[in-house]
Amino acid sequence: MEAVIFHLPSKPNIPEVELLGTASSGAEGLEKIKTLHPDLVFLDVEMADMTGFEMLAQLERISFQTIFITSYSHYAIKAIRFNALDYLVKPVDLGELKAAVRRYKEKRLESASQNENIRQALINMNTPDAGEKKLALNTQEGDIKLPRKMIVRIEGERNYSCIYLEGGKRVLASKTLGEFEEILEGEGFFRCHKSHLVNKRHIKKQLTNLSILLLDEAVLPVSRRKKEAFREWVSKGEA
């Protein structure tokens, strides 16, 4: 595979990666991508002149796959995971880098799907209504994108999660409830119980300190250790 690399300290010791070039800024990266036509780009999210997403937005066509590189910025990682994109955290560990390349090789035929997720990430960043932002998911029904406002609640089932949608539909996703909590925390969702993550938009009322009624008439428990934090979260009135 042929790659353009942003901000890695040295050429990775990975035989199957042919390094076409490196770039120290988004502007330089755009020129390298346009002239070198790489299969894979390791893209720094935080560059001096622009973000990685701002750089991608300037391309008319994305014909390569992308592995994002970021410092441990909770916001950046949430944005990447929200759109089901691959990433590495700086300083980049060689073992994790090799694992990312393996994932790329396994999924290289799915480049159209990954690039659609990048396009959706760019749309999400320019969507003022948070509820309209779409969450990219791998489910039993294939890859889907759900507007956040459609998600009523998410129930954990071991290594999977059952997502309850408006209208009574359910989908099963191969993420744990903890993973969904990390992605949706502070985005209008609250983990009210070890097995339940709820969307504030769909809460009808609080029945007791330890239970809530949703608009679809489902009743969810609120754990004793979460009841005060949940009450404060609900009182903020934001969704």
Residues in the chain: 239
pTM: 0.76
Q: How many CA atoms lie within 13 A of 199 on its CB side?
A: 20
Q: Quick one: which of 34, 22, 179, 177 has its CA closest to 164?
A: 177
CA distances from 62 to 6, 113, 114, 180 (A): 17, 11, 10, 28
* Residue 1 pLDDT exceeds 50: no
- Between CA 7 and CA 97 the distance in angstroms is 13
Per-residue pLDDT band at 122 (split at 50, 70, 90): confident
Distance, CA of 78 to CA of 182 (rounded, Å): 7
Mean pLDDT of 208-235: 95
What are the structure tokens assigned to 94, written together? Answer: 């060689």
Q: How confident is the model at residue 8 (pLDDT cuts 50, 70, 90)?
A: low
180 has pLDDT over 90 = yes
Q: Which two tokens stand for residue 153?
A: 């609640």
Encode pLDDT of 64-108 as tens digits.
889 999 887 766 788 888 888 888 988 888 888 889 888 888 776
CA distances from 116 to 51, 63, 230, 234 (A): 19, 11, 36, 34
Neighbouring residues of 190: CB distance < 8 A, sequence distance ≥ 6: 197, 198, 200, 229, 230, 233
